């Protein structure tokens, strides 16, 4: 069950932070609506890795689609292609 607390509980932040653990963030509400999440730093780092992985996967998928639709660049021409594209 999610740990939900009103933001006013931050007046006693030690008590709020005591409930934060990996896999168990504390959700803070403002005016009865979810507003903030407090999570363990290790869990946040894993979240950042997940976002980076999603971004990389999307870029790889775009590249694959581009190759399928526009044709592939032969492996021995890749370096030349990128040098021309990014260095003039």
Q: What is the pLDDT of residues 38-67, one digit of tens each?
A: 999 999 999 999 999 999 999 999 999 999
Domain boundary assignment for the chain: 3-39, 42-87
pLDDT recorded at residue 24: 96
% of the chain exceeding 70 in pLDDT: 100
The mean pLDDT value for 67-84 works out to: 92
Phi, psi of 14 (to 5 degrees): -60, -40
Contacts of 16 (CB under 8 A, 6+ apart): 5, 9, 10, 26, 28, 38
The C-alpha atoms of residue 13 and residue 9 are separated, in whole angstroms, by 7
Instruction: Kindly report the average pLDDT of the chain as a whole number.
Output: 94
Put simply, whether the predicted model's pTM sits higher than 0.75 gets the answer: no
pLDDT recorded at residue 1: 78
């Amino acid at each position: 069950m999610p740990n939900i607390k009103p933001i006013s509980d931050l007046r006693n932040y030690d008590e709020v932070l005591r409930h934060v653990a990996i896999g168990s963030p504390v959700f803070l509400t403002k005016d009865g609506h979810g507003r903030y999440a407090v999570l363990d730093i290790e869990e946040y780092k894993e979240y950042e890795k997940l976002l980076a992985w999603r971004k990389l996967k999307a870029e790889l998928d775009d590249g694959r689609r581009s190759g399928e639709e526009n044709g592939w660049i032969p492996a021995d021409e890749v370096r030349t292609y990128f040098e021309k594209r990014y260095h003039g």
